[in-house]
Structure 1
Amino acid sequence: MLRPVIRLARAAQPVAAHRTLFTESDTCVRVFNTIDQVRAWRREKTLLGQSIGFVPTMGALHRGHLDLVKASIAENDHTIVSIFVNPSQFAPHEDFGQYPRTVDSDVAKLTELRNSIQTDEQVHYTNEFAVFAPSVNEMYPSGIPLDVKEQVGAFIEVKGLSHQLEGSIRPHFFRGVATVVTKLLNIIQPDRAYFGQKDAQQCVVVSRLVADLHIPTAITIVPTTREANGLAMSSRNVYLTEESKDKSKVLYEALTSAQHMFRDTPNVTYGDIRKKVLDTIAASEFSIDVEYVSVSDKKTLIDYPLDEAVNKDDGCLISAAVRVPNKDGAKTRIIDNVLC
């Protein structure tokens, strides 16, 4: 089992002040706002030889996030969830200011999950839940303008995995993701961290980041959590009307139809696979704008040549990003993928 390497130069100090939603110690969720608080809590657990699972989020928690938390609970002594809308992964024209910030309701959801496990007679649960909800100043003490050209200081880039797919549309994005994930792993020093397969490129980038920088945290990828109609759960789904949510299922239908073609149809090319996604979306007659459809290598994320016959033994990642109508009459961006 991978464990963080922590130098214990002095005796552990008591955990700094934290707030809770409940006074009962066995049902509370600790909420830390500073790095010092988290490190003191982590130091206590290290001295006890206890493992920490970590779930990084930007808040607006939904069932997909809670599934990540459940995966952490199953494998670790304690679990900490970060709630931080990271400015360095937004461009000036993107929705940083409008991104939902719902810390109190997020903590309430985690508390409800904690209590539901606590009262389950089949589970002898003594783990602690903690939330790390820092300010922007806490995470970026030198400041962080949204314009990448104005940013100064230390940032992390994972070359070769960040410019394609999502990176082709949002070239700043994975620099911001890699930077904040490195900060959080350094602060928390978890044994394991949990990411959702919906953000497939993020999973590949973070896994490479951890390997290349020798960070002693095991990365666990959890399958995508979906709505009943197949739509991948996302915090941005709150922007969608019920009609748009229902019709947006076509993205998953398109990806799975291409997945079936890859697995079951002989003598097809990667171009045929991509065309299957596009044709399925077009046939839906839904007002949906396609940003990209990719059929790529699962490890390198490099697109396969469209005229090349598929290699079923190697598999592939079929991914797409689209924009669909939202409540404001504009369009919201959603992404999804399937593995072959």
Structure 2
Amino acid sequence: MHLASLSAGKTFITDVARRRQTIGTVHTLGALHLGHAELIRRAAAENDVAIVTVYPNKIQLSPGPEYEFNLEDDIALALGAGASAVISTTDAEMFPPGYRTFVSQGDYPLRASGPHGLLKEGVTGCIRWICFVRPTRSYFGLKDIGQALLVKQAVADLLLDCEIRFVPTVRYRNGVPISSRLRHFNRFELDELSSLSMALNHLRKEVATGVSCAQDLIDSAKPLITFGQFELESIRILSADSFEDQEQIELPFIISGVAVGHGIRVPDNIYVPDQDTLLHGPADIWIDLPERWECDFQAQCRPG
């Protein structure tokens, strides 16, 4: 079911609430892929109703070309993965004249994503959708761990009755986390990006052996990144509680790296919340690379 406005969505949500059914939500900017599909599957499996929202949040997206997404493809993927309904909307509905309310979390969003990030705007968008849908549970991928942790904190601070569920990162078997950004790159560039993922995992393994100086760890990881078409923007080790850069490694922490190619930032993260994850690695979900990358990237994301 596709609900093409907030008013249509509200009618559906009110009916679900009347029937006292649980709701799981997945909130997206559009351009859905297999990472989103995993979130949707979990929302559908753990709730009576799974709702996917599709809206390219204009306050979150960087200025530049129009965000690329195909609503029909997104609806097909969401419903194929188990969604009960897809709610889409427009700038006119989401940001009418006079809109002025944003979720403020001090400088935490800036610490988490750096000066190029727009986490304040991303968190604001997610919280607005959670207030609108009133889900029992809302699902966020660990690929975007900074946003996931900040949304969880905002939900707690605002006393919203919603459980935030984290879902493991979906990665290609070469290590690269699947992302809508990948549609801009060819298979050779994708293989090149894999060296960033391997370097971050190397860093985790070094911490597990007892290395604790963050700068030594970062210095040991950088030579493993063999970029030609990309540039390395940053490698960081952050506290998962404060988002401050760590000097001596303490749990919980985030290993973060950002590559830049063709003017597009491609982030990767490893969230290490506990000793088990440190020793054995995160519970990532691995999928095969498409045989014909350029033609098949979008096709693989549609239900067969």
Give your verdict on TM over 0.5: yes
Q: Find the counterpart in structure 1 of residue 213 from structure 2.
A: 269
Per-residue Cα deviation, 1:159-193 (whole angstroms, up to 9, x for no partner): 241111423223xx122112211221111111111
CA–CA distance in structure 2, aligned partners of residues 167 and 136 of structure 1: 26
Q: Find the counterpart in structure 1 of residue 302 from structure 2.
A: none
Scaled by the length of structure 1, what TM-score is found?
0.76
Q: Find the counterpart in structure 2 of residue 293 from structure 1.
A: 235
CA–CA distance in structure 1, aligned partners of residues 211 and 158 of structure 2: 41
Q: Find the counterpart in structure 2 of residue 157 from structure 1.
A: 104
Choose which of 161, 186, 206 in structure 1 pairs with 2:151: 206
Q: Find the counterpart in structure 2 of residue 188 from structure 1.
A: 133
Per-residue Cα deviation, 1:238-288 (whole angstroms, up to 9, x for no partner): 000111011111111010000100112x3441112222332211xx24332
Q: Which amino acid aligns with 1:270?
A: A
Count the aligned residue pairs: 272
Q: Find the counterpart in structure 2 of residue 87 from structure 1.
A: 58
CA–CA distance in structure 2, aligned partners of residues 298 and 315 of structure 1: 5
Q: Which amino acid aligns with 1:289?
A: E
CA–CA distance in structure 1, aligned partners of residues 113 and 253 of structure 2: 17
Per-residue Cα deviation, 1:195-229 (whole angstroms, up to 9, x for no partner): 11011110111111111111111111101001121
Q: Which has the larger radius of gyration?
A: 1
Q: What is the SS of the residue equivalent to 1:338?
A: strand
CA–CA distance in structure 1, aligned partners of residues 175 and 102 of structure 2: 36
Matched, 1:45 2:13: no
Instruction: Say if 1:250 and 1:280, in contact at 8 Å, map to a contact too.
Output: yes
| Divergent runs of 4+, >6 A | none
CA–CA distance in structure 2, aligned partners of residues 279 and 157 of structure 1: 38
How far apart are 1:138 and its partner, in Å? 1.0
Instruction: Say if 2:25 and 2:50, in contact at 8 Å, map to a contact too.
Output: yes
More helix by share: 2
Q: What is the SS of the residue equivalent to 2:108?
A: coil
Q: Structure 1 residues 174, 285: closer, same or farther in 2, change over 3 A?
A: closer
Choose which of 78, 96, 103 in structure 1 pairs with 2:71: 103
Instruction: Say if 1:38 and 1:187, in contact at 8 Å, map to a contact too.
Output: no
Q: What is the SS of the residue equivalent to 1:198?
A: helix
Instruction: Say if 2:142 and 2:168, in contact at 8 Å, map to a contact too.
Output: yes
Instruction: Say if 1:33 and 1:133, in contact at 8 Å, map to a contact too.
Output: yes
Q: Find the counterpart in structure 2 of residue 131 from structure 1.
A: 86
Aligned-pair Cα RMSD in Å: 1.7
Scaled by the length of structure 2, what TM-score is found?
0.85
CA–CA distance in structure 2, aligned partners of residues 223 and 267 of structure 1: 26
